[in-house]
Amino acid sequence: MTSDEAVIGHTGVLVIGTRAASGPGEVLVRVRGGTETYLAWCDERLPAGATVLVTSARGARQVDVIAWADPLDVLDQLADDAG
């Protein structure tokens, strides 16, 4: 089984939510000039539409993901709240 290291560090959007230990979801990731889907494993349940960060590749088009919020979006929100 080969690992797809190119996808690590990319963000994506869940098209099927993750189910923690019950099973993977599916993530759409922009990589190599296009978009590709991978089975997405996560320790927590995440809903479809959630933005995630790929933290490792398991091989056979499977990746580990965590919930992700773009830090720049957070700063924009703080600025809006302050102003």
Q: What is the mean pLDDT of each run of 10 residues along the chain (83 residues)?
A: 81 97 96 94 97 94 94 73 74
Distance CA 45, CA 21 (A): 9
Range of the domain at 39: 5-82
Category of 15 on φ-ψ map: left (φ > 0), alpha (ψ -120 to 50) or beta? alpha
CATH number for the domain that contains residue 54: 2.40.50.140
Tally of domains within the chain: 1
7 φ, ψ (degrees, to nearest 5): -85, -20
Contact between residue 40 and residue 63 where contact means Cβ atoms under 8 Å apart: yes
Distance CA 70, CA 39 (A): 22
pTM for this one? Answer: 0.82
